[in-house]
Structure formats: C-alpha cells, structure tokens
Amino acid sequence: MTHLPAEIPPLAEVFDTIRVVSIPTRTRFRGITVREAAIFDAPRGPSEFSPFTEYADPESAQWLAAALDFGWCEQPAPLRDRIDVNATVPAVAPEEVAGILARFPGCRTAKVKVAERGQSLAEDVARVREVRVLMGPTARIRVDANTGWSVHDAVAALTALAQFDLDYAEQPCATVPELVEVRQQLAAAGVPVRIAADESVRKATDPLAVARAGAADLIIVKAQPLGGVSRALEIVREAGLPVVVSSALDTSVGIAMGAQLAASLPDGTLAGACGLGTVALLDGDVTETSLIPAQGSIPVGRPVLSPLLLDRYAASPERTAWWRERVARCHALLAAHG
C-alpha cells in the first residue's frame, strides 16, 4: 500500500529544486561502485530520492513519498540530538577490514556483510573473525545477509558465526516463513543468534507481517523505503519490536532523514547503534558538512547543501534525464493514489 506524504507538491515545483548526482564509492558495495541520487533543495530543507536503480516504480514511489514528506512537510520533534552509529563492513577480504573500520572512528558496533554472491562461508567467517580481533571482545558485531541464504545455509552459517558473539543476524533469508524457520531451528540447536528483519519490512506490502508471525527479534527500519519519518514511526509503534534505524548508502541528505527518524523514536525503542554512518563509504558528498561518524555518532539536523559539491558530482545529462523521468513516473503514481 502506497503511503502518501501530507503534501504532494506539483511536479513542476519538484523539478525546480532537483539536482542529480553521481558519487563514487570507496569500496564496492551491493555490487555498485557509483551511487546516484536525486537531491531536492526543498522548502523545509534538503531532501533525497535515491532508490537503487533496479527498483521498479511502485516500490520507488515510496522513496519519493519520503523525499517529498521530508522536503515539504513538518517533521516530528526530535527527542535527542546525536545518534550512535555502527561501522559498516562490506564483503571485503580480511586484510581490507582495518582500513574500513578506520573510517568509523569511535564506533563500538560493526555490521558485516555476509552471503555475498560468489563468496564462501569460509570467507564470511574470516571477515567476521578479523572484525572481532580488531574491535575487541566488548564490541557488538552484527551480520547482514541481505536475503542471501536458504534456511539450511542460514542455520549452518549462523551456527559457524555464533562463535563471534553476534548481536544479531539481519535478513538471513528472503521470506517471513523462512525467517520463522531459521529462528526455530537456531533455538532448538541452542545457537544464541537473534534475527533482525530488514527487507521483510521495507520491501513488503505488509511491513507488520514479520511482527505478527514472530519472525524476528527486532526490525530494521529505513525512512526512505517506508515512505518517510512519520510513516516509519507508525510502523514501529504497531510492530512493538526493538528497532535499529538504517540507511541505503545515502548522501548526508538522506542520512539526515534517517537521523530524524532515529531521534524521534520513543525512549527505549532503539536496539543499539544505527546504520547511519555509511557516508563514510562514499568518496564524496553534497553538503557543506558531511554526516560521517565522530566519536561513534552523528548529529541530528539538516546539513546545508554545497553548490560546489553538487556541481562536482553532477550526473551526466543522460543520467539526469533518466532520474527526472523516474521522478515524474513515481510522482504520477503518488498523485493517482491521492
């Protein structure tokens, strides 16, 4: 079901504010080496529309709803002014882990990508082991499989990875019934690994199905895919599970939206550091001050757009046209639902 922002500005007004950027990543991440995004210099402050390019229009329209909501509508009042964030370790070789962690100063939690296509469980174990060695016994370590395992493979992998005292495993399998089965098999085997749901919340027609099915111990929420800060807060309230707020390799503008969400959650809801430090994985940004981790956290607030950086990372005319057409299609979908 499409969630609509409180206000849908006319497409012409949206186009008056848009800049499309193309920013290299420091490390290959989710198979990409360049991150594209549409940035809006909107009335209430900068906003971002950046669904990955393979996402279809109905799903991407939710991301546009979030961008319009954040850029044109009043936001909930924040309850805190800084958000603790985790380091994010892509599916790199162990010898590259130290360099990745160095980009996240002060972070005492790390999320490690596993189940990368073409890699083995042995490579996952070696990567997670290196993170544990470098961060020490008191750090929290999470793994994220991005739906990459079957139930059998998830149980085998998490049994092997449990030796590193995992905080939780994020989306080990694709479907809600599979998550239920993984939780049950791990519990029966006495493997103490909690399950977190991400794609089963943000890519689902019913984001509350996970909670009703008992498929996860906590949920990952992202402001853009869920239609904005206010809608994400509604889902958190209805799910009744602990929450980690995360992002999708956004610029500092999109990260600010995620930080607004994390800052607006009721006390006691957050289940540890949030996945909002990923600007550190980009080799550029669009704001005067980047929301990169300092002493393990980022500030809450809207960063100021940098005209110089918007020009430096401007997408090609062809890619700009592609994004403008995408915005127009998604705007039409939102307007039709309105």
Question: Do the Cβ atoms of 147 and 117 come closer than 8 Å?
Answer: no
Catalytic annotation, pick one of 111, 202, 222, 331: 222
Question: Do the Cβ atoms of 78 and 300 come closer than 8 Å?
Answer: yes
Question: Helix, strand or coil for residue 269?
Answer: coil
Catalytic annotation, pick one of 19, 111, 113, 331: 113
CA dihedral sign, ordered 243, 283, 97, 115:
positive
Question: Do the Cβ atoms of 335 and 329 come closer than 8 Å?
Answer: no
Give the separation between CA 261 and CA 255, rounded to whole angstroms: 10
- What is the crossing angle of helices 121-135 and 151-161, to 10°? 30
Give the separation between CA 330 and CA 327, rounded to whole angstroms: 5
Phi, psi of 247 (to 5 degrees): -140, 180
Give the separation between CA 261 and CA 163, rounded to whole angstroms: 33
113 is catalytic: yes
Give me the active site residues, please: 113, 222
